[in-house]
Structure 1
Amino acid sequence: MSWTQTIFEVIDMRSFSNLWFWIALAVVWSTASHWVLGVPFDMLTRARKDGGEARQDLEDIVRVNVNRILHIAGVSGLILLGFVCFVLTALAILGFVYDVEFAQALFLIGFPMSLVGALSIRTATVIRRADPEGEELDKFLIRHRQYTQFIGMVSIFVTALWGMWQNLDRSYLFNAF
């Protein structure tokens, strides 16, 4: 047996049994819930607590990011939508029809993140239309973060169930019966 075969037997390189996949999943969702429309959540808590200049900074950065998100969606939204749908469809077919575990893992991260992207565009549209300030703006941002966290919790739960099933299905003990 060569040294590469030994390494690949000792360190399982499949996605769902790999610690690095689960670390990446946790980082993706913690980052997504921390950055609300491109604004760090600690900036919102500081603006709520201190007010004044912190509040003005929050409103300015939200305005800039809302305009940026809506500009990107308006200019290249259809192209991005087509590309994201193509990639997600390719990952779904590779993963669930052809049983490529890496594609399954990427799909289980990418699909819920595309929902968060759509939610961000929707929230940016609502914020631009309502033009909220102060506590009303806080409510929009907090609600967006809560929806993102809910999507993340469901995504992590489904990914964990699917990963456990894949690990059991590919284990020697499970297939012995």
Structure 2
Amino acid sequence: MDWYSSIFELIDMRSFSNLWYWIALATLWSTASHWVLGVPYDMVLRARRVGGQAETDLEDITRVNVNRLLYIGRVSGLWILAMVSFVLSGLLVLAIWYRVEFAQAMFLLAFPMTIVGALSLSTAKLIESEGGTGDLLQKRLGRQRLYTQMIGTVSIFVTAVWGMYQNITIGVLGG
């Protein structure tokens, strides 16, 4: 038996039984809920508590990130939508029709993040149209974070259920 076979027997390389996949899933959603529209959420909390310069800093960084998101959406939004649709439908076909576990795992990461991305773009448009400052801006960013966490919770639940199903099915049926 060569070392390559020994390593792959020791470490299960399937997606849903791999610890690294679950660490990546947790890190993805933790990061997504902390960085709301590219703004670290601790800045929102600090602006709410302290006000003054912290609030000005929050408004500035939010303005920069909102303008950046909207510029990307206006300039290349259609191309990004086409590429994301192509990748997601490719993953979905591989996941459902061909039962590729890696495609299932990637789809369960990418699809909910696409929803969060669309929601972020929508929130950025709202902030721009309202001229979001002060309490209204903090409220919008807080609501965006809450929605991201809700999507993340549902996504983690669905991924865990599907992953357990896959592991049980492969474990019982042997592949």
The answer to whether TM tops 0.5 is yes
Show the counterpart of 1:175.
173
| Paired amino acid for 2:131 | D
Percent of aligned pairs sharing the same letter? 61
Once the two structures are superposed, residues 63-91 of structure 1 have per-residue CA deviations (whole angstroms, 9 ceiling, x without a partner) of 11111100000000000000000000111
Give the Å deviation of 1:175: 2.3
Matched residue, 2:47: 47
User: Structure 1: how far apart are the matches of 2:55 and 2:130?
Assistant: 18
Post-superposition offset of 1:2: 2.3
Counterpart secondary structure, 2:14: coil
Q: What does the per-residue CA deviation read over 1:82-110, in whole Å, with 9 as the maximum and x for residues that have no partner?
A: 00000001111111211111111000000
Residue equivalent to 2:132 = 132
Q: Residues 38-57 of structure 1: CA distance to partner in whole angstroms, max 9, x if unpaired?
A: 00001111111111111000
**Secondary structure of the corresponding residue to residue 13 of structure 1:** coil
What's the counterpart of residue 114 of structure 2? 114
Structure 1 segments of 4+ aligned residues over 4 angstroms from their partners = none
Please give the residue correspondences for 1:139-150 in structure 2 after superposition, counting only pairs within 5 Å: 139-150=139-150
Cα distance between partner residues in 1 of 2:73 and 2:38: 15
TM-score (norm 2): 0.97
Q: CA deviation at 1:132?
A: 2.2
Distance 2:132 2:19 in 1: 43
User: Which residue of the partner structure matches residue 80 of structure 1?
Assistant: 80
- Paired position in structure 2 for 1:62: 62
> Which structure 2 segments of 5+ residues have no match?
none
Counterpart of 1:102 in structure 2 is 102
6-15 or 67-76, larger mean C-alpha shift: 6-15
Distance (whole Å) between structure 2 residues aligned to residue 10 and residue 36 of structure 1: 39
Q: CA RMSD in A?
A: 0.9
If the length of structure 1 is used for normalisation, what is the TM-score? 0.96
1:100 alignment partner AA? V
Per the TM alignment, residue 133 of structure 1 is displaced from its structure 2 partner at its CA by 1.6
Residues of 2 paired with 1:78 and 1:132: CA distance? 26
